[in-house]
Structure 1
Amino acid sequence: MNQFKDLQKLIKLTGDRAKLDAKANETYIVYKTAEGQIVKEYSDGNIIPITERDSSHA
């Protein structure tokens, strides 16, 4: 049993489930891209980068 492959599969399944939940609730998921950018991805495929100004709570 390859634990690394199992972990990769679990991470992928978790992301797929998050996308389904976002679609059902008409919202978006947030994640960090391979380039290090944090983005919002909507169920229609629209991806919007989050800027520091967007992430501020002040």
Structure 2
Amino acid sequence: MHQIKDLQKLIKLTGDRAKLDAKANETYIVYKTAEGQIVKEYSNGTVIPVIGQDVPDA
């Protein structure tokens, strides 16, 4: 049970660090919302959905 809580804490800390790095470098983070939408979040709080043309070819 502690492993799950530890993992959740590490995931949260990783996200927080990514936000700090994005702010320091004046860029954004990309993540998938609970609804399944991929979004860009800027350090000022602006969240923009990523649409098909923004996704690079694999």
Q: TM-score, normalised by structure 1?
A: 0.92
Q: What residue number does 2:33 align with?
A: 33
Cα distance per residue 1:32-58 (max 9 Å; x no partner): 00000000000000000000121144x
Cα distance in 2 between the residues matched to 1:56 and 1:2:
38
Over the aligned positions, Cα root-mean-square deviation in angstroms equals: 1.1
Q: What residue number does 2:47 align with?
A: 47
Unaligned ranges ≥5, structure 1? none
Percent identity for Structure 1 against Structure 2 = 79
Corresponding pairs, count: 57
Unaligned ranges ≥5, structure 2? none
Do residues 16 (structure 1) and 20 (structure 2) align? no
Structure 1 segments of 4 or more deviating over 3 A? Answer: none
